[in-house]
Amino acid sequence: MEFGNRYTSRAQAGARFVAQRLMLKPVIWSMVRVEITGRSLLKDVKGPYIVVANHSSHLDAPLILGSMPSRLSRYLAAAAAADYFFDVWWRKGLTALFFNAFPVDRSANAKSTGFTGKLLKAGVPLLVFPEGTRSKDGTIAPFKGGAAALCMKAGIPCIPMALVGATQAMPRGRNWPVPGRPPVRVRFGEPLIAADGESVPEFNARIERVVREMHASELALYLADTGANVHNHPTIGSAAGASTPDASDEQPREGAA
């Protein structure tokens, strides 16, 4: 894939601002009740960065983009599954317009192209979902290490995020959120930088642990808000399940918006 100016074009960034802030966000916010916390932690973030979040719904990318300060989301490029979002021309066009998306090959024999590194070098921040695919029940799968490796190689921060309620608001198999404006919680964490001497697997495990801990805290608030039984929810206890996955890949194939 050739690097093109779509990702850095000021004109396309302006069109994307209109699409995201004046079209997509009002629609999504009218269908779900969004609670955002931690946004003030991003006040000192400048230059390229990588957003890392848990992934359970097609609502995740719109929620992240709509919740971020506009100065940070203006050029943010979202990783999107090539086999779904780039398979037909109209979906490819919409994905590019609304999410500045770049395709990620999720196949087992996928090879790194270095494209994500080129985006970061050009100053384009990235949004990746390191689980690799959407969760079916809201639980968090082990993180792949591509995002951690890219952060360390480029010397840039990782912005951890946790989303709760998106699974219930728009589960797999639905093309539209459920009616009734279900609650969704979006939480930003303190930007993370790899420590001196920290390995890629160690940094990746730390990112995963932070996301899981934020998710567990937001889940407790979500369950209290909805009146659900905390002990019956499948994600309870998942904060302790962080793993240390292989982080040898350069490109974060943890794909898909």
Would you state the pLDDT for residue 248? 34
Residue 153 identity: K
Nearest to 187 by CA among 169, 212, 157: 212
Whole-structure pTM over 0.85, yes or no? no
**Which residue would you say has higher pLDDT here, 88 or 75?**
75
Cα–Cα distance for residue pair 146/152, rounded to 1 Å: 10
- Counted residue by residue, the chain has a size of 257
Q: Phi, psi at residue 122, to the nearest 5°?
A: -80, 0
- Tell me the residue ranges of DSSP E strands in the chain: 33-37, 50-53, 77-81, 102-104, 126-128, 158-164, 183-188
- Over the Cα atoms of the chain, what is R_g? 17
Q: pLDDT digit string (tens) for 214-225?
A: 999 999 999 998
Sign of CA dihedral 139, 208, 238, 29: negative
Is residue 71 within 8 A of residue 168, CB to CB? The reply is no
Give the whole-angstrom CA distance, residue 7 versus residue 113.
17
The pLDDT of residue 113 = 59
Order of strands, sheet of 77-81, starting from the edge strand that comes earlier in the sequence: 33-37, 183-188, 158-164, 50-53, 126-128, 77-81, 102-104
User: Would you kindly state where each structural domain of the chain is located, as residue ranges?
Assistant: 5-241
**Which residues have CB under 8 Å from 172's CB, separation 6+?**
57, 134, 136
Q: Which of 5-14, 45-54, 131-140 has the highest mean pLDDT?
A: 45-54
| Predicted local distance difference test score (pLDDT) of residue 20 | 92
The residue written with tokens 């160690």 in the block is 202
pLDDT, residue 174, reads: 87
Across the chain, what does the average pLDDT equal? Answer: 84
Total Cβ atoms within 10 A of residue 7: 21
pLDDT grade for 135, boundaries at 50, 70 and 90: confident
Query: Would you say residue 58 has pLDDT above 70?
Result: yes
Q: How confident is the model at residue 132 (pLDDT cuts 50, 70, 90)?
A: confident
- The pLDDT assigned to 112 comes to 56
Annotation: CATH topology of 5-241: Glycerol-3-phosphate (1)-acyltransferase (3.40.1130)
Q: Rounded mean pLDDT of 130-156?
A: 92
Tell me the average pLDDT across 121-145: 91
Q: Taking the alpha carbons of 64, 66, 71, 76 in that order, is the dihedral positive or negative?
A: positive
Range with the poorest average pLDDT among 4-18, 174-188, 197-211, 213-227: 4-18
Q: What is the pLDDT of residue 6?
A: 84
Residue 17: C-alpha distances to residues 25, 73, 101 (Å): 10, 9, 14
Average pLDDT over residues 199-207: 98
- The DSSP 8-state label assigned to residue 87 in this structure reads S
Please tell me the predicted confidence (pLDDT) of residue 175: 84
What value does the mean pLDDT take over residues 83-93?
66
